[in-house]
Chain A
Amino acid sequence: MSSLLVILGVVTITFVVSRLVPSDPASLYAGARARPAQVEQVRQDLNLDAPLMSQYVSYIGDLLRGDFGISFATKRPIAQDLRRFLPATLELAFAATALSMLVGIPAGVAAAARRHRPSDTSLRLFAVLGVSVPVFWSALLLQLFFSSKLDWLPLAGRTDATTSFNEVTGFFLVDAVLSGSWSNVADVAAHLVLPVAVMAAYPLGLTIRLIRGAMLEVLGADYIEAATVAQVPRSTVLSRLALKNSLLPALTILGLTFAYSVSSAFLVEAVFAWPGLGKYLTDAIVRVDFPVITAAAMVIAVVYVAVNLILDLVQSWLDPRVQLS
C-alpha cells in the first residue's frame, strides 16, 4: 500500500514539475519551425489547453491503462519504447548483480577467513579498485584489450548484425535460449560479458568489503567461539553459521545498487552502444521530452519499490527477529 503511494507521489511530482518549467509542451511537440496555428492545433490534440487538474486525472487514467503517452521527440508511443529499452537495462543490471553476489560473497568470506594475509590484502585492493575506477575508463580499457587487441569479444551492441531471433521477452539471453539456437545464445552472451563486467565492478567491490567487514564482526561473537569449541568444522562455521548473520547488510546495499544501476546505466550503455533505459532517458532529458522523463521516472520508482519489497522479504527470511506485518 505504502509502495503504491510512493509511486503515485513520484508520478505527481514529475507531472507537476514538467508543467512548471518555463517551456511549452505544445511547441516542443510541434517542433522549432512550427507556425503558431500548428502549435495551437497540437495543444488541442494533446488536450494541453484543459485545466491542469483534469490533465492530471486523465494522465493517471492513461497510466493505469498502460498508456504512457507519446514522445515529443520521436512521436512514438512511450510504452512501446519502454518495452524495448527497459529489458535491455534490466538484463545488464540483473547479470551484474548476480555476478557481484556469486563472486563477491565467497570472496568476502575468504578475505575475512584469511584476515591480514596476502590473499586478503589483494582482495581488498581489488575491492577498492572496483568501487573507485570510473566505469567509462574501465569500459574503454576492456574494449581496447579484449575487442581491439585480442578480438575475443564484440566491441559493442547487444547482438551481431547477422544474428536475429524473436524478441519475446526483451531479455535477449532468454530470447536466444527460447530460439533454440546455441549460436544465438553464444552471441548474446559474448555481447554481455564486457558491459556486465564493467557494471559489476562497483557492486562487486562493495559486496567484498561489506561481507568481509560483517564476517569479521560476526567471527568475534561468542556463538562462533562456542561452535569452535563444539568442533563444528571451520568450513561450516564460515559458510553457514557466520555467513547468514553477515548477509543482511550486504544484501541491503546490493539491492539498492541494483536499483541505482537501472537509473544510472547511462555511461555503460553509451560506451557499449547498448539500447537501454539510461540512454533513452538521457536522450529525453537533452530534448526536454517530458512525457518520456515522467514515464522513466515512474519506471525507476517502481524498480526501487520492487527492490525494497524483495529486500524486506529476504530480510525476514534471513533474520527471524524481523517480522513482516
Chain B
Amino acid sequence: MSNANDIESGRLDPAVAMSVQDLHVTFYPPSGPVRAVRGVSFELREGEVLGVAGESGCGKSVLVRALLGLLPATATVEGSLELDGEPTTLDGALQSEAALVYQNPGASLNPVFTIGQQLQFVSGSTDPTELSGFLLQAGLKDPEQLLGAYPHQFSGGMGQRAAVALALAQRPRLLFADEPTTALDVTTQNQVLELIAELRQRHRLSVVLISHDLAVIKRVCDRVMVLYAGLVAETGTTSQVLTSPSHPYTQALLESVPRPQAVGKSLASIPGMVPDGRHEILGCAFAPRCSHAHDACVTEEPAMNQLAVGHSVRCVLSDPTR
C-alpha cells in the first residue's frame, strides 16, 4: 500500500505498462478508405487511470479495439505496441493481459447463461468459492446466490458490476472501459467509478477509461488524452488539462459540461460535426469548427507542442516559435 501512496504523492514514477507509438487505423468501405485513427501515441503507467475523451466519431473506441486486435480483417492497423518495454503484435496478443468493460451490461452479458456459467467460461475455474470471489471483488453482495442468476434479473448497476467481475475473472493487468457509466443513472455511475478507482488501487490495474463525459474523467483519471478526428488534440494530467485547457476543442468540450452554477443559462455546444475520415484533412482538423481559427490553421497541420512536463497540445496558438 505504501507503494500506491508514493505514486499518489508523486515521489515515485511507476513503470510504463503499455506504450503505443504512431497508431494508424484505416477502414475500407466501398465509399473509399476512412482513416479513423491517424497517428496516436501514448503511454500507460502501472496503476494509472488514463482517460480518453472526445465526442462520437473521434476514434476512441476504434483505438481500443485496434489495440486488442478486435477490428475486422478488412481494416488495416499500423503502429507499434510495447508491453513492459517488450514489442507486442497488434493481432490480439494484448488480449491475454487485458479485459474490456462495455457501455451497456444488457449487451455485454450473455442473456442465456447464468453469471456463474459466464465466469466459468472466462476464468476456466469451476470452484464456486473462487467464482463468487470475483463477484465480491466487484462489490456484489450475496455472491453465492448471484452465481445462479441470469443477467435479466440484474439492475443496470448490478449488471455493470457483474461485467466488471467477468473482466476481473480474466485476471487482467490492463482494463479497458468503453463508456462504462454512460448507460447508468447518476447514482450508479458514481458507484461504478468508485469501483474502478478501488480496483486500480487494490490490483494495481492500469485502466484506459473512454468517456465523452469530462465530469466522469475528472473523478477517476490521473491523466487525460483528448482525441479529435483520430489525432491527440491535448494530453496531460487531469488537473493540467481540465483546469488549464489549451486546445480550443478541449475548452469547447469543457464548456459543454453542465454545471450547477450555470443553471438557467443555455448550455454551450460545439457547432458542426467531427470531419468524416474519408476526406484528406488539410491543416488542423478542428479549424472549421474553431472560433480561434486563422489562415495558418487551414494550411498547415499543427505539431504537438509541450506546454509543461506531461502537458502537450496540438494547436498553433500554443506554438512557442510563433
Query: Which A positions have Cβ atoms within 8 angstroms of B?
Result: 221-223, 225-232, 236, 240-241, 244-245, 318-321
Contact = CB atoms under 8 A, between A and B. Distances in A.
26 contacts: A221-B107, A222-B102, A222-B107, A222-B108, A223-B107, A223-B110, A225-B100, A228-B92, A229-B70, A229-B95, A229-B98, A229-B170, A230-B99, A230-B122, A230-B166, A230-B170, A231-B170, A241-B110, A241-B121, A244-B112, A245-B111, A245-B112, A319-B111, A319-B112, A320-B112, A320-B152
Contact of B102 (A226, A231, A232, A236): A226
B150 A320 contact: yes
A228 B72 CA distance: 13
Contacts of B68: 229
Interface string B84-118: 00000000100110111010100111111110000
Nearest to B98: A229
B160 to A, nearest CB: 12
B121 A229 contact: no
A317 to B, nearest CB: 10
Contacts of A319: 111-112
Contacts, number: 63
Given A226-B100, A226-B166, 13 more contacts: A222-B107, A223-B107, A223-B109, A226-B102, A230-B166, A230-B169, A230-B170, A231-B96, A244-B113, A245-B111, A245-B112, A320-B111, A321-B150
Contact of A232 (B92, B99, B100, B121): B121
A182 B163 CA distance: 55
Contacts of B152: 320-321
Contacts of B109: 223
A227 B92 CA distance: 13
B95 A321 contact: no
A225 B70 contact: yes
Contacts of A226: 100, 102, 108, 163, 166
Nearest to A245: B112
Interface in B235-294: none
A221 B111 CA distance: 11
Nearest to A243: B112
A228 B113 contact: no
B122 A232 contact: yes
Nearest to B68: A229
A320 B121 CA distance: 18
Contacts of B102: 222, 226
Interface size class of B (residues with CB under 8 A): 20 to 34
Could you tell me the dominant secondary structure of chain A's interface residues?
Answer: helix
Contacts of A223: 107-111
B179 to A, nearest CB: 12
Interface string B126-150: 0000000000000000000000001
Contacts of B95: 228-231
Contact of A229 (B100, B110, B150): B100
Contacts of B150: 320-321
A87 to B, nearest CB: 35
A229 B114 CA distance: 19
- Pick from B70, B92, B100, B169 the residue with the most CB of A within 10 Å: B100
Contacts of B99: 229-230
Nearest to A318: B112
A73 B114 CA distance: 58
A231 B169 CA distance: 11
B262 to A, nearest CB: 35
Interface in B151-189: 152, 163, 166, 169-170
A231 B109 CA distance: 16
Nearest to A223: B110
Contacts of B122: 227, 230, 232
A108 to B, nearest CB: 17
Contacts of A228: 70, 92, 95
A320 B163 CA distance: 19
Nearest to B124: A232
Q: Which 6 A-B pairs have the closest CB atoms?
A: A222-B108, A320-B150, A230-B122, A222-B107, A223-B110, A229-B100
- Pick from B70, B92, B111, B150 the residue with the most CB of A within 10 Å: B111
B76 to A, nearest CB: 19
A244 B150 CA distance: 14
Interface string B294-320: 000000000000000000000000000
Contacts of B166: 226, 230
A319 B114 CA distance: 11
Nearest to A230: B122
Contacts of B170: 229-231
A231 B166 CA distance: 12
A224 B279 CA distance: 33
B70 A227 contact: no
B104 A222 contact: yes
Contacts of B100: 225-226, 229
Nearest to A320: B150
Contacts of A318: 112
Nearest to A225: B70
A244 B118 CA distance: 13
A197 to B, nearest CB: 33
A241 B111 CA distance: 10
B109 to A, nearest CB: 6
Nearest to A321: B152
A320 B108 CA distance: 17
A318 B112 CA distance: 7
A232 B170 CA distance: 10
B70 A245 contact: no
- Pick from A223, A227, A229, A232 the residue with the most CB of B within 10 Å: A229
A168 B121 CA distance: 47
A33 to B, nearest CB: 66
